[in-house]
Amino acid sequence: MSVHTPLVESDAARDLTGLRADFPALAQQVNGHPLIYLDSAATSQKPACVIDAIAEYYRKDNANVHRGVHELSERATRAYEGARDRLQRFIGAPSRREIVFTRGTTDAINLVAQSFVRPRIKPGDEILISGLEHHSNIVPWQLVCEQTGAKLRVATLDDRGDVPLEAVTALLSDRTRILAVSHVSNALGTVNPVREMIAAARDRNVPVLLDGAQALPHMPVDVKALDCDFYALSAHKMFGPTGVGALYGREALLAEMPPYQGGGDMISMVSFEETRYNELPYKFEAGTPNIAGVVGFGRAIEYLEAIGMAAISEYEHALLEYALDVLAEVPGLRFIGRPGHRAGVVSFVLDGIHPHDLGTIVNAEGIAIRTGHHCAMPVMSHFKVPATARASLALYNNREDIRRLASALVRAREVLA
């Protein structure tokens, strides 16, 4: 990674725009225009150091982990386990045994649904989620409900796109077996009051899972300070590769849970009569893992640590405020959701233009935004829109990106006029 000299901007947020040069994919023309990538909530671009780390791993160290005594296997294991240590520190987990590598956030949530909740839930018991959730924090719970006769309860969001704390506390009961909520909403950018929600759940001895996919790229996260029981995350949203993520789980809970999948690496001894499972976290990592992906993930965390999550959060917050101001000036633009506390995402519609057309029209100017329901159809229903356009930010975006989006939106109205 190159060394970045911090500059001081007039709004006091550190200027991180020099970081853009670290991302090779951003230095291209799309449809004859410099690419403006505003779809990082779908997946972030990757810095050269992450791409190089993956390539280097395959060029030099490729071997299976936890098996061989030979040099390459030792190196691969060291790199893989080094990434676990780094992630543990990055999110403030007390022990490396509490970090389980998964395919991503969805996989991590399904693991908790099937291995933690399903065995201990009975007909009539309840699973509590919020109305803001991504489909990946809805459907795994619906599956458990179908399998067990439990009921899914939903804390509804208000007209600003916030989930009021009272909406959660009102539905917490002695029957609630888990509270599963997003830390940050992918559709609206709402930052949930998770500390208060967790405290309320704690009062009733209800375990809490946070879907952190959209939080980690934007703000410091400390699972110990949050006091959550599970935290699910994806590498690809935080400048790492796709197909890798992790589950943080409180050790006492992970220890009691049965394995999620059976296979190699998750066992300590196998015979046809009996199998003993491996210790944590390996009990939950069946099969050869995505080693190169984990190595790349570790490098992405190192990259973020070097910049500092507090600096990233401050820079992005200023950029988000700027985006809200600039976009508010676009004729006919209506924000979908005005949450009190927001990170990374602006959702909107434009009078008379379907979001799908908008996405195609701004793409002609090299601007990438997401259009559709953002895998959060219940959120769309709440705001009575079939879809929205969504601009999502990351540390490599700048004010010029926002200005170009705004002027493309103004011109979009002319295309269909």
Give catalytic residue positions. Answer: 375
| Interface segment toward another protein; rule CB under 8 A; list 208-216, 230-238, 272-280, 409-417 | 409-417
* Helix intervals (H) in 91-119: 105-111
Where b means 16+ CB within 10 Å and e means fewer, 26-63 reads beeeeeeeebbbbbbbbebbbbebbbebbebbeeebeb
371 touches another protein by CB under 8 A: yes
Between strands 7-8 and 14-15, the pairing is: antiparallel
380 touches another protein by CB under 8 A: yes
| Interface segment toward another protein; rule CB under 8 A; list 83-91, 263-271, 313-321, 361-369 | 361-369
| Interface segment toward another protein; rule CB under 8 A; list 91-99, 164-172, 315-323, 366-374 | 366-374
17 touches another protein by CB under 8 A: no
Q: Which residue in 4, 354, 399, 403 binds another protein (CB under 8 A)?
A: 354
Distances (CA, A) of 276 to 96, 114, 315: 21, 20, 49
Where b means 16+ CB within 10 Å and e means fewer, 355-391 reads bebbbebbbebbbbbbbbbbbbebbbebbebebbbbb
180 closest CA partner among 133, 237, 221: 133
373 touches another protein by CB under 8 A: yes
415 touches another protein by CB under 8 A: yes
Q: Which residue in 355, 368, 392, 413 binds another protein (CB under 8 A)?
A: 355
Shortest spacing between CB 371 and another protein, in angstroms: 7
Of 120 and 356, the one with the shorter C-beta distance to another protein is 356
Contact 40, 46 (CB under 8 A): no
For residue 223, the tally of other CB atoms under 10 A from its CB is 23
Element (H, E) at 88: helix 71-90
Identity of the amino acid at 177? R
For residue 321, the tally of other CB atoms under 10 A from its CB is 13
317 touches another protein by CB under 8 A: no
Of 32 and 123, the one with the shorter C-beta distance to another protein is 32
Of 257 and 380, the one with the shorter C-beta distance to another protein is 380
Shortest spacing between CB 349 and another protein, in angstroms: 11
Of 28 and 360, the one with the shorter C-beta distance to another protein is 360
332 touches another protein by CB under 8 A: no
Contact 61, 81 (CB under 8 A): no
| Interface segment toward another protein; rule CB under 8 A; list 87-95, 254-262, 329-337, 356-364 | 356-364
Shortest spacing between CB 415 and another protein, in angstroms: 5
Which positions touch another protein (CB under 8 A)?
31-32, 353-357, 360-361, 363-364, 371-373, 377, 380, 385-387, 415-417
